[in-house]
Structure formats: C-alpha cells, structure tokens
Homo-oligomer: A and B are copies of this chain.
Amino acid sequence: MPSFKLTLAYDGTNYVGWQRQASGTSVQGLIENALRELDGREVVLHGAGRTDAGVHALGQVASCTLERDIDAGVLVRALNARLPADVRVVAADAAAAGFHARFNATAKTYRYRIFNADVMSPFERQYAWHVYGPLNVEAMDAAARLLRGRHDFAAFQTASGPIRTTDRMVSSSVVRRAPPLVTFEISGDGFLRHMVRAIAGTLVEIGRGRWTIADMRDVLDSRDRTRAGPTAPAWGLFLVGVEYGDL
C-alpha cells in the first residue's frame, strides 16, 4: 500500500474549488477520479489547502494511498494523461505510510496578485485583481509586516463552522511592486477561511489612502470581521507552496 505526496498546479478558473462538492467540478474530485481509474478502487485524496472556487495553485500538495505498486514517474504521466490541461501533477514522491498533506504541513505560502494600471491586461484578467489609481505600496508593505508573529486573526476570517482557535503564526508577510503588478505574499502555519483575501482587501484600502497603517493594527486587535476591508476576489489568489518538517 504505497503512499504518495503529489505536488499540483492548477488554474482554478473553471472549478468550484479544491474540495469535492454536491455539484460542480472540483480539483480534488477530478484527481480522485483519475486515481480510481489507475488503482481500480475508490481513492481519497487529502489536500494541504482547501482553495476556494477560482483560487489557483502553483504548489498545492495532496496525499493518497494506493493498492497498486506504481512508479512515481509513471504515476505523474498516467494522471496527467487523464486530467484536463488546467490541472497538472507537477511531481509525485513516495511518502511514509500515514503521511497526510494537511495534518503534516508545517507552513504554507500564499500570493495575492494585484494589477495596478488604468487598463487591465487581457492575460491577467483571471489571475490578478484589477485595482486602478495610485497605490501607496510602502504603506501596504508596512501594514503587511505588522501581521508577522502569532496573532488572533478572527477579524480576517469568514466563519464556516466551529474551529478550535483563530490564532495563527505568520512567519513572513510582505508587499512588493513590480509594475504593473503589486504582490502580497504571506507564509504561516495555517490560514483561516478567506484570511488572505480579507487581508489583501484591507491592504488595498491602506494603499488607496482610505485607511492608515495603524488601522491594520486596530482591525487585527478588534477580532471583528466587520472591521476589516472587503474580501479581495478569488482569482488573484495563488497557493504557492506547502512545507513539511522532517517526515
């Protein structure tokens, strides 16, 4: 019963998100279907991050256990042959028995892309949020850096059922400009639902000068979702990568 760690890239535009749903096509469902064809039985695939509808991945990680003994390189090619071109298995690695992509993850990195120009690029329309008008990127970066460390991020979550704690450890949080793009990148041990997009929406309010850097601290301290900025659109968000400690 070999276990595998799959590294995945996908364009989320055409999907209801990572997770299998009652209706619509999910990335998880597509890959589970392909695994079932290969393994001859139902296979459950665990993803490290449950990306929402329209959210993309450069380095999603998922785990599964198969009945059949299959070479990792063969598995990559066999899965890609069965998947549409907007979902790709980038790599497959043999994993220790019991490896779980979500529970064993020690850090994740997300990137939020903002296209800051008068006219949107037709090539970025599904991969970045179009924000026009001047953005004070220095203020956005200073506000992003305030989030580093362990905090209660309740102000930046969309509640979706009971969760144990809204404390999260953010190891890195930075905003950079590479015209016409402004990119927010954040790494941490875990993320609440819509957390990165709510932070991105708040950072844009600060970049526009409507809010100050100090407002970021006040929103965070308030633990009140109604105080944060609007949730930035899904199509600007990328799950960049997932890290694992010693396995």
Interface size grouping (class) on chain A: 10 to 19
Which residues of B have CB within 8 Å of A103? none
How near does chain B come to A239, taking the closest CB pair, in angstroms?
Answer: 13
Which residues of B have CB within 8 Å of A85? 120, 122, 125
- Cβ-neighbour of A119 out of B86, B90, B123 (below 8 A): B90
Instruction: Let me know if B89 and A122 touch, CB within 8 A.
Output: no
- 22 A–B contacts from the bound complex (CB under 8 Å): A9-B119, A9-B121, A9-B122, A10-B122, A11-B122, A11-B123, A11-B125, A56-B123, A76-B119, A80-B119, A85-B120, A85-B122, A85-B125, A86-B122, A86-B125, A87-B122, A88-B119, A88-B121, A88-B122, A89-B119, A90-B119, A123-B127
Q: Assembly of this chain: how many copies?
A: 2
How near does chain B come to A47, taking the closest CB pair, in angstroms?
Answer: 16
A9-B121, A88-B120, A88-B122 known, 5 other contacts, Cβ within 8 Å: A11-B122, A11-B125, A87-B122, A88-B119, A90-B119
Which residues of B have CB within 8 Å of A11? 122-123, 125
Which residues of B have CB within 8 Å of A56? 123
**Chain A 1-27 per-residue mask, 1 if CB under 8 angstroms from chain B, else 0:** 000000001110000000000000000
* Complex Cα–Cα for A9 and B88 (A): 28
**Chain A 130-165 per-residue mask, 1 if CB under 8 angstroms from chain B, else 0:** 000000000000000000000000000000000000
Which residues of B have CB within 8 Å of A121? 9, 88
* Complex Cα–Cα for A89 and B118 (A): 11
How near does chain B come to A223, taking the closest CB pair, in angstroms?
Answer: 36
Chain B residue at minimal CB-CB distance from A238: B123
Which residues of B have CB within 8 Å of A120? 85, 88
The 9 closest A-B pairs by CB, nearest first: A11-B122, A85-B125, A86-B122, A88-B122, A88-B119, A90-B119, A9-B122, A10-B122, A11-B123
**Chain A 73-85 per-residue mask, 1 if CB under 8 angstroms from chain B, else 0:** 0001000100001
* Complex Cα–Cα for A230 and B123 (A): 27
How near does chain B come to A5, taking the closest CB pair, in angstroms?
Answer: 16
Chain B residue at minimal CB-CB distance from A57: B122
